[in-house]
Chains A and B, each alone.
Chain A
Amino acid sequence: MDADSINRKVRRQHAIESTWRYVLLIITAFIMIYPIIWLFGASFKTNAEIFGSINFWPQHFDWTSYVKGWKTGTQYSFTTYFINSFKIVIPKVIFTLISCTLTAYAFTRFDFPGKNILFSIVIATLFLPAVVTRIPLYIMWRNLHLLDSYVPLIAGSVFAQEPFFVFMLVQFMRGIPKEYDEAAVMDGANPLQILGRVLVPMMKPALLTVVLFQFIWSMNDFLTPLIYLSSVSKFPVAIALKLATDATSGFVPWNQTIAMSLIALVPSLILFFSASRNFVEGMSAGGLKG
């Protein structure tokens, strides 16, 4: 075969292949996303219609599910619950960024006695099941009289107790050539300046990934606030949603619950869409090989 006919054959094969790849992508996407689209439509339906039709489009648009759902059956509205969530999530994200970056910096750019042992502790805590430390931590916060406050929910992030992020940032930082640091040292920069002015700007994709993951995971966190918080006025969205399905015993206003559940997903979605390009880069550059 000459080069030309091989080329033609390859190109034809390629066209067929990409067609069926598109088909595969579209079908899979549809199966995964249809329930969400349907739920979006359902949130505008009356409670009776939700159980009556599998159509996506409601017969009459009914906004009351959003209005009533937002007000909730409790004395607080979702405004309070969202503010509470942000009071937990935003400090957590900021502390995680700072503490995990410092930890990763120490492990990648410095030599000190016991470094290998300490790093293997990071890896060990990555695999340590949270179930085994949960109860003593609760007892500890109880003895410190800090139950029903946000301190137990946030404190760990101040001290870099997020081994997944430490590990990810270490992997990413290892990929940045040390020549950059050395050049900065020549210019008289101290270690903190090297980190802040040289490394952090280059780590933007990885840091954005940390922000995105920590934000979404903390918004999703249910068990920790469930254990530590007892006053309704302090509940984050995750607990408030559960409350909404309990409050009205027997009869659950599903249209309101669906409406509020969808609203609860909005902050994570906004953050995701505004960061998605960097996020994909960050994940691959971080080289999570295990």
Chain B
Amino acid sequence: MKSKKKYIGLIFLIPWMIGTLIFTIYPFISSLIYSFTNYDLISKPKFVGFANYIEMFTTDPDFVRSLKVTIEYTILTVPIQLIFALFLAFILNFKLKGINFFRTAYYVPSILGGNVAVAILWKFLFNKTGLVNQVIQTFGGKPVGWLSSSSNAMFVLVILGVWQFGSAMVIFLSALQQIPTDLYEAARVDGAKKWTIFFKITIPLITPTVFFNLVMQLNNKLQEFNSPYLITNGGPTKSTYLTSLLIYDNAFKNFRMGYACAMSWVLFIIIAVLALALFKSSNRWVYYSDGGQN
């Protein structure tokens, strides 16, 4: 009976195992191999050693800048996005009449945040004669060239990135709902102030969620493609030419598959190092109430 059960468990896992081999492990390894080749899809891949890696850090004018811009975008977006998401989750966790109406209302923009339609609408809102400039003019200000100056264009992308707070907010809210109310009551009976409760009880108890959201969002934003592609097209003067966009152009416009793979490995290593550093630091600031077992 026991051994039969073992066998059954693995049977249910077969689709996932096949999939992981084909769609994850195989491409993961082969992209590393391709990164040491020149491959244009027509002639056979040609081994070139570290040439791709050397090129991107020396003669390529775009790669290092794209990394800088990507990191800038990520550093500007993720903290604001997460604080905003936590703030919204916090006020949606109020025990009030009609709170479900507000929850639904708040989910709407967040759920749509990743839609292409939203990126296109964003482009329109920040158009030279778009809504944002119209509002500025109504209040007597001068219209701003949102998409024609580098720092403004980055700002427009960052604002959209922050507006995509949806999944982080939902995950924060579910964590907040799991905090036992008697903890709050005990603190209140002890005379703790609201802010004290927030920073001494709420925040420590949701640190696992903060950690999860932080890793996920860093991962997402370092790979951001849609908003620069759709809104700024990398410009002006390549100031929003994020690494994902550069990789896409090299792979699917210039057909330099090997070079694009090498770039994606550098991006991957940056993401992995960041994630590992967060994991390493997590035992200092992440609080697991059930002794680390999730």
**A residues with CB within 8 A of B:** 18, 21-22, 24-25, 28-29, 32-33, 35-36, 38-39, 42, 51, 53-54, 99, 102-103, 105-107, 109-113, 115, 118, 121-122, 125, 127-140, 142, 155-156, 158-161, 166, 191, 216-217, 219-220, 222-223, 227, 237-239, 241-242, 245, 254, 257-258, 260-262, 264-265, 268-269, 272-273, 276-277, 280, 283-284, 286-290
Contacts and interface: CB of A to CB of B under 8 A. Distances in A.
B31 A132 contact: yes
Contact of A103 (B15, B116, B130): B15
Given A127-B275, A242-B230, A287-B178, A29 B105 contact: yes
B237 interface: no
B277 interface: no
Contact of B247 (A105, A131, A254, A288): A131
Contacts of A158: 15, 19
Interface residues of B, number: 94
B6 interface: yes
Contacts of A264: 115-117
Contacts, number: 260
B251 A113 contact: no
Interface of B: 5-10, 12-13, 15-20, 22-24, 26-28, 30-31, 34, 39, 41, 88, 91-92, 94, 96, 100, 102-109, 111-112, 114-118, 120-121, 123-125, 127, 129-131, 134-135, 138, 170-171, 173-175, 177-178, 208-209, 211-213, 215-216, 219, 222-223, 225-226, 229-230, 244, 247-248, 251-252, 257, 260-261, 264-265, 267-268, 271, 275, 294
B104 A276 contact: yes
B244 A160 contact: no
Contacts of A155: 23
Contacts of A139: 30, 34, 39, 41, 257
Contact of A35 (B13, B31, B125, B275): B125
Contacts of B39: 139
Contact of B13 (A38, A106, A238): A106
Please report whether the interface of chain A is mostly helix, strand, loop or mixed according to DSSP: helix
A111 B5 contact: yes
B216 to A, nearest CB: 8
A39 B122 CA distance: 10
A160 B16 contact: yes
